[in-house]
A and B are shown apart, each in its own frame.
Chain A
Amino acid sequence: MYRIVKKESLNPTVTLMEVEAPLIAKKAEPGQFIILRVDSNGERIPLTIADFNRATGTVTIIYQIVGATTQALDHLKEGENIQDFAGPLGRPTETEDFKKVAVVGGGVGCAIAYPVAKKLYEQGCEVHSITGFRNKELVILEEEFKKVSNKLVLMTDDGSYGTKGLVTDALKTLIESGEKYDAVITIGPLIMMKFVCALTKEYQIKTLASMNPIMIDGTGMCGGCRLSVGGKTKFACVDGPDFDGHEIDFDEALTRSSIYKPFERRAHEEVCHLYEMEVK
């Protein structure tokens, strides 16, 4: 059992949790993830390690409430326990040789992008962060990003905060204005990453995309997390989650991410209903 030592709502659908997991905190590197199970009948879901504290032995996760499991997780309070919490899984994001990097995050993907930006910044790399949200209400981690970026451009789809437009608009503007990046690291919805990668391909800038396919074990046993990279089948949980953005078959990944849609909608409804009854 893994105790929740802190819980904080970042926006109406995104929550931060700090969880006691000393073994994971000791090993974690930016770009890695954990797999958790809320209770003994629950699903295994992957969440990125948004931050870690080796001294206190805690790991931070930031999750968006999208379906049954993230809802059940959000139902837990400070001091309560998560049944299973395994990691750190996946390979850390490659951050070694870069001098200047653009980190492009979308929505809750910013939670995954943040520790990467932080590590790059701490290594002395020049970091330009671009974060995008649908509207002002959904903005997360603004202060945190400011602290680890030489430049931060915050975008909203509707212009209710920051600059109006998409992250690709901001990235294009920066590149066109003469910024030379060793790499672009992008994390967010598949469709956003697809367009970021299409853009950087035009300018031939090395791009890493952090993929989040459906996973079960996360240890390289089931093959559920597979995707096509450069025409080869790769397993995101052991070979990734970061891949060369110009080699990823995003269209296939988009189709695959919808496999369980019909099931998830049902699970969501059932859980909502249950919670409603509890409230009553």
Chain B
Amino acid sequence: MVINMDVLKRIPVKEQDPKVRARNFEEVCLGYDKEEAMEEASRCLKCKNAKCITGCPVSIDIPGFIKAVEAGDIEEAYQVISKYSALPAVCGRVCPQETQCEQRCIRAIKGESVSIGKLERFVADWARVNDVKPEAAKEKKSQKVAVIGSGPAGLTCAGDLAKMGYDVTIFEALHEPGGVLVYGIPEFRLPKDTVVKSEIENVKALGVKIETNVVIGKSTTIDELMEEEGFEAVFVGSGAGLPKFMGIPGENANGVFSANEYLTRSNLMKAFDENYDTPIAAGQKVAVVGGGNVAMDAARTALRLGAQVYIVYRRSEEELPARVEEVHHAKEEGVILKLLTNPTEILVDDNGWVKGMKCIEMELGEADASGRRRPVEKPDSEFELEVDTVIMSLGTSPNPLISSTTTGLDINKYRCIIANEENGQTTKEGVFAGGDAVTGAATVILAMGAGKAAAKGIDEYLQNK
């Protein structure tokens, strides 16, 4: 039994050694065992007015499940979580807990917050290993609902509707369901075959049908689903869309990739595994431009494929939008941060391949609309970074495939679908939307929160129809 002498401190969680993991695709964090989890659970005060819940976008009954963990009843803990979340093993791993549930934890006032994410992960992993499934709906309804996209928003919305008894079908453009969970977030943070697949299986076990290889807007349209196929409501969770580029010279040279392409090749198509056919031009010296979670993932993937890796970001470390844990892991593994640096040109050799990147140093000026200090160029500070591969990780802009083929579905000036935050209702009757397609690139749990809100919105709509 682990004895925790200091209740102000969390039970530490085991991780793979940075030197070893920098060269493999196995998961970085190894998670708690049952004893450690029970010990950590005992740190929770089971607050009556639990602030942690207010920090969770899907309002998980955190003290409720932690109480069951402390008592050693992990199955009960899982059923508590399952009432609120369809993807606990995913959220326990990739949720930015430190700025959500854990930030509001009462324990955090004096010491370290309860390790809510790691406990959630433990419970979900335990349920998978012990083959415990969420409970399916007892009564079925006849109304059909279509869900577009099988990312966290779509899976959550579908799962919740299925629990209410609706007949739900997910339509997914790719050959594999999961959205960013399968093509974006790498194996070493979120194992695909074990964690993601089994949570998707759980959603299916609730009665949700998933049709892959169906591109809405091309294979069929929302209007057709509603008018010809008998779907009475539709949820759009089609994700963030096309990658952005900087518009600097040399950007279409060979060796310049979007983070989406690089990560898709590695994750969805498993290019890192020699048993799969898809190639990846990994690079020897790689610059990743950007500072979000996506940039960290691309950098750490390139590192594992054998490259020396720079993160090039125009603000300082404080402003990095990636999760603190991810930045910390990246640094530990040997990713080099080139902060306050902005690329101005990609240098190309005679064969059309990247041979370097011209950059300029930046300094922080006045705060801008987002409240962050705006980076400005330092005069005469241009220099060349010697790299053979550049990965652009600058965010995405929505794909018009769905909005342009659906009558009456309005988008805003950023081309995101307009939807009511409370219930997901769009400008078209019976059509709801949520997740990155509405907010632009955000987080797994916000997408799930939106999927959940929309499931309620759809239920109300269909009840009153």
Contact = CB atoms under 8 A, between A and B. Distances in A.
B279 A23 contact: no
Residue of A88, A223, A235, A252 with most chain B CB atoms under a 10 A cut-off = A223
B278 A86 contact: no
Given A27-B218, A44-B175, A88-B219, A238 B399 contact: yes
B412 interface: no
A259 B254 contact: yes
B251 interface: yes
Interface stretch (B54-62, B240-248, B335-343): B240-248
Nearest to B270: A41
A84 B269 CA distance: 13
Interface string B247-283: 1000111110110110011000110000111110100
Given A227-B252, A238-B242, A238-B401, A42 B277 contact: yes
Contacts of A84: 175, 212-213
Given A41-B277, A259-B254, 17 more contacts: A24-B219, A68-B277, A86-B173, A86-B174, A220-B401, A221-B239, A221-B241, A221-B399, A223-B243, A226-B245, A227-B252, A238-B400, A252-B352, A255-B253, A255-B254, A260-B281, A264-B279
A69 interface: yes
A204 interface: no
A11 interface: no
Contacts of A44: 175, 269, 278
Given A37-B175, A238-B399, A263-B279, A88 B218 contact: yes
B175 A222 contact: no
B219 A222 contact: no
B286 to A, nearest CB: 15
B137 to A, nearest CB: 29
A260 B49 CA distance: 58
Interface in B203-231: 212-215, 218-220
B174 to A, nearest CB: 6
A259 B283 CA distance: 12
B248 to A, nearest CB: 11
Nearest to A267: B277
Contact of B281 (A41, A42, A223, A259): A259
Contacts of A227: 252
Nearest to B243: A223
Contacts of A233: 245, 247, 251-252
B213 A85 contact: yes
Interface string B46-79: 0000000000000000000000000000000000
A189 interface: no
A216 B218 contact: no
A224 interface: yes
A223 B220 contact: no
Interface string A248-268: 000010011011100110010
A42 B261 CA distance: 17
Contacts of B260: 221-223
Q: Which of the listed residues A227, A238, A256, A267 has the most CB atoms from chain B within 10 Å of its own CB?
A: A238
A255 B255 CA distance: 11
A224 B257 contact: yes
Contacts of A41: 270, 275-277
B interface SS class: loop
B351 interface: yes
Interface centre among A216, A256, A258, by most chain B C-beta atoms within 10 angstroms, is: A216
A217 B254 contact: no
A89 interface: yes
Which of A69, A233, A259, A264 neighbours the largest number of chain B CB atoms within 10 Å of its CB? A259
A222 B241 CA distance: 9
Interface string A50-78: 00000000000000000011000000000
Interface in A213-240: 216-217, 219-224, 226-228, 233, 235, 238
A219 B277 contact: no
Contact of A216 (B212, B220, B264): B264
Interface in B364-414: 399-401
A234 to B, nearest CB: 11
Interface string A4-47: 00000000000000000001100100000000010001111000
A68 B251 CA distance: 29
B214 A23 contact: yes
Nearest to A91: B218
A219 B245 contact: no
Nearest to B253: A255
B242 A43 contact: no
Interface of A: 23-24, 27, 37, 41-44, 68-69, 83-89, 216-217, 219-224, 226-228, 233, 235, 238, 252, 255-256, 258-260, 263-264, 267
Interface string B227-238: 000000000000
Interface pairs A-B: 6 shortest CB-CB:
A255-B352, A263-B279, A223-B258, A86-B213, A222-B261, A223-B243
Contact of B175 (A83, A223, A260, A264): A83
Contacts of A226: 245, 252
Contacts of B276: 41-42
Contacts of B351: 255
Contacts of B174: 86, 217, 219
A41 B173 CA distance: 18
Contacts of B401: 219-220, 238
Nearest to B258: A223
Contact of A87 (B218, B241, B278): B218
Given A84-B175, A87-B215, A233-B251, A221 B242 contact: yes
A27 B400 CA distance: 19
Contacts of A83: 175
A224 B261 contact: yes
B175 A86 contact: yes
A170 B225 CA distance: 48
B161 to A, nearest CB: 23
20 contacts: A24-B219, A37-B175, A41-B276, A84-B212, A84-B213, A86-B215, A86-B219, A219-B173, A219-B174, A220-B399, A220-B401, A221-B183, A222-B243, A238-B400, A252-B252, A256-B252, A258-B352, A259-B254, A259-B255, A263-B279
B348 to A, nearest CB: 9
B242 A235 contact: yes
Given A69-B277, A223-B245, A86 B214 contact: yes
B28 to A, nearest CB: 25
Contacts of B257: 223-224
A217 B212 CA distance: 13
A43 B399 contact: no
Contacts of B261: 216, 222-224
